[in-house]
């Protein structure tokens, strides 16, 4: 190691010869939008195992396993019915966290329903929200 490289390493507080690992960059909105669309398709197609694989550890602990996700899918389908049309798909933020919103009309429900996939900084699903648009929390200002 050259004297210049050693001086730079010491100035940066890095031991000579060590590599500073950087955290991977958070996924951008385009990547999260694509993932959100995929998650929504999996939800409607009953692919609980695929959804479970994309949950954060905390979300997995609350999901009740793959079977818990299957039960939630069944409950949603029996209440909402079949999706009749997609009104909006977009990325937004709430409390600083990126969210994919899928808003649609359903055969058994008079109001539009919103499915929200909440992502962490690693692109994992940290939470899910589902319900009438009228009861959906407002996104952060400017998002």
Q: pTM for the full model? A: 0.81
**Domain assignments of the chain as residue spans, ordered by start:** 28-135
d(CA 125, CA 46): 17
Contacts of 62 (CB under 8 A, 6+ apart): none
Longest dimension (CA), the chain: 73
Token output for 104: 């649609």
Check whether 2 has a pLDDT greater than 80.
Answer: no
Q: Which tens digits make up the pLDDT trace of 63-100?
A: 999 999 999 999 999 999 999 999 999 999 999 999 99
Question: Between residues 41 and 15, which one has the greater pLDDT?
Answer: 41
Per the document, the length of the chain is: 143
CATH assignment of 28-135? 3.10.450.50
Q: According to the model, what pLDDT value does residue 125 have?
A: 98
Bridge partners (DSSP) of residue 65 are none
Residues 25-55 pLDDT 10s = 778 999 999 999 999 999 999 999 999 999 9
**Residue 92: Cβ-neighbour burial (10 angstroms; 0-12, 13-18, 19+):** middle
**Is-contact 84 106, C-beta < 8 A?**
yes
């Amino acid at each position: 190691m050259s004297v210049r490289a050693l001086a730079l390493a010491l100035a940066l507080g890095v031991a000579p010869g060590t590599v500073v690992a950087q955290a991977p960059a958070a996924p951008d909105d385009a990547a999260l939008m694509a993932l959100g669309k995929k998650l929504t398709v999996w939800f409607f197609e009953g692919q609980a195992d695929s959804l479970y694989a994309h949950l954060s550890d905390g979300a997995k602990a609350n999901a009740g396993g793959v079977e818990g996700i299957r039960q939630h899918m069944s409950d949603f389908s029996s209440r909402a019915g079949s999706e009749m049309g997609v009104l909006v798909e977009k990325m937004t933020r709430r409390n600083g966290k990126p969210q994919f919103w899928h808003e649609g009309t359903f055969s058994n429900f008079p109001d539009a329903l919103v499915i929200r996939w909440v992502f962490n900084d690693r692109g994992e699903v940290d939470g899910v929200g589902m319900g009438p648009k009228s009861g959906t929390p407002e996104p952060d200002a400017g998002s």
